[in-house]
Structure 1
Amino acid sequence: MNIISRRLKESIAVKQLIIEDVELQKKIESSIDTILECLRNGGSVYFCGNGGSAADAQHLAAELSGRFYFDRQPLSADALHCNTSFLTAVANDYSFNMVYSRLISGIGRAGDVLVGLSTSGNSENIVKAFEKSKELGLKTIAFTGESGGKLKQLADITINVPSSDTPRIQESHITIGHIICEVIEEKMFGKK
């Protein structure tokens, strides 16, 4: 089998495990309900990640704040790493581990939601952001790999993809994120 077929089959296999995991699907449904409650009450949804997970965080924030399947009002959602001046200043003046928790300290409000994407579940800057979110009364949703890492103990909801292979985890994160965005859009604005 060539690498193309092998990787596609691996990706499908992880998604098949998610299909068969009723408890994981319930966590996805709980995430949808949590985000809907936040948005219906005038709150904001914040996303954070590092590297490819930062790209996924930004992607999902854009699906909510822009549009997904159809034209409708924007929803209050943002990715925390998009202000590069803030990010580099805090990383330089404090530490990179503080970039997300410091921003949550400034903009996070009780009832908001923080979604952290970390394949290991151990990214220190996301762990600190979850700790700060708990102090401030934000709800937290962790997208992780199978172990859940440190975030599993901190998150209100942990969506732990049943894999330890970073690319396969990230592929499932974006699939799950798209499902969440689609259902939120439909429930907020009606079917397309």
Structure 2
Amino acid sequence: MTGDDATGFLYPFIDSEETDATSLLGDLAASARAKAGESARLQGESLAEYGDALTAAGTRMADRFRRGGRLYTFGNGGSSTDAATLASLFSRPARGRPVAAWSLAADNAVVTALGNDVGFELIFKRQIIAHARDRDVAIALSTSGNSDDLMTAITEAKQRGLLTIGFSGHDGGRMAVAADLDYCFTVHSQSIHRIQESHAMLGYQLWSVAQAHVARPPDSLRPRNGARTP
């Protein structure tokens, strides 16, 4: 495969013999604008579809964080980096209150040991067994919604009383019909890039809701007549 063939799929409209720089730059700019427009449209549609569910999920997450709960995120490939970014958003936010959050794909020694010793499909389930408590939250990210290692971890997390949340794509795959997920946010697109961009936006929205609620006093600290403490 030549250099042109190896990267041609990125911009199939560009002729390998293109010599007109002005025309080429115009095509590249138009492509970037089209992708940005599609991403914005998809994010808007996802927010419109899941706004109420995001508020409900974020509020429940905040309740668990106030009780000392922790967040565990996990995914494969590009979704593992998205999971790490999401965990970092909660644990090291630029503003607001940090909460305990870990990406279960972050420790190479643990992931490779489990993959080698007990099987790749158990790399996240075994960590849930080792660390999770019933006040915690588990978020699984997958562009297909069909990853075995995520589904086994979700089932284990649900059995242990965790709040379970899934981010999926396309038609949602197995995640969309999984009884073990309390919430599933499916981004309806065939593009992995656009799905992951919307996952990042949905994750930020969850953080925003949780951050807003975790700072509020729990009901037990409010006066019995319902009035807020001055």
**Is the CA contact 1:121–1:151 (under 8 Å) kept in the aligned structure 2?**
yes
Aligned counterparts, 1:21-100, within 5 A: 21=49, 24-70=50-96, 72=97, 74-100=98-124
Which residue in the other structure is 1:18 paired with? 46
5 Å-filtered alignment, 1:31-180, equals 31-70=57-96, 72=97, 74-152=98-176, 153=178, 154-180=180-206
- AA in 1 matched with 2:42: V
Alignment partners' CA distance in 2, 1:92 and 1:174: 31
Residue 17 of structure 1 contacts residue 162 of structure 1 at CA under 8 Å; is this kept in 2? no
| Closer/same/farther in 2, CA of residues 93 and 86 from structure 1, 3 Å limit | same
Q: 1:37 to 1:146 in 2, by over 3 A?
A: farther
Cα shift at 1:88: 0.4
Offset of 1:18 from its aligned partner? 2.1
Contact 1:69 1:182 in 2 (8 A): no
One-letter identity of the residue aligned with 2:148 = E
Q: Separation in 1 of the partners of 2:117 and 2:166?
A: 27
When Rg is computed on C-alpha atoms for both structures, the one with the higher figure is 2
Q: 1:147 and 1:140 mapped to 2: Cα distance?
A: 19
Give 1:186's aligned residue. 212
- The percent of aligned pairs where both chains have the same amino acid is 31
* 2:188 counterpart letter in structure 1: P
For 1:88 and 1:11, locate their aligned partners in 2 and report how far apart those are by CA, in whole Å: 34
Normalised by the size of structure 1, how large is the TM-score?
A: 0.90
- 2:46 is matched by which residue type in structure 1? I
Deviation at 1:175, TM superposition (A): 0.9
The answer (yes or no) to whether the contact 2:59–2:209 under 8 Å persists in 1 is no
Q: Counterpart of 2:145 in 1: which secondary structure?
A: coil
- Counterpart of 2:152 in 1: which secondary structure? helix
SS in 2 for 1:173: helix
Quote the offset at 1:185 in angstroms: 2.2
1:3 correspondence with 2:31: yes
Structure 1, unaligned runs of 5 or more: none
User: Aligned partner of 2:200: which letter?
Assistant: I
Shift of residue 189, structure 1, vs aligned partner: 3.3
Q: Would you say how many aligned residue pairs link Structure 1 and Structure 2?
A: 186
Structure 2: which amino acid aligns with 1:150? R
What's the C-alpha RMSD, in Å, of the aligned pairs?
1.6
* Paired letter, 1:4: A
Q: Which amino acid aligns with 2:66?
A: R
Q: Does structure 1 conserve the Cα–Cα contact (< 8 Å) formed by 2:47 and 2:202?
A: no
TM-score (norm 2): 0.76
Q: Which runs of 5+ in 2 are unaligned?
A: 1-26, 217-230
Preserved CA contact (<8 Å) 1:68 1:181 = no
Q: CA deviation at 1:19?
A: 4.1
Mapped partners of 1:109, 1:133: distance in 2: 9
Equivalent residue of 2:123, what SS? helix
Deviations 1:77-99 (A, max 9, x none): 11111111110000011111110
Structure 1: which 4+ aligned runs deviate by more than 4 Å?
none
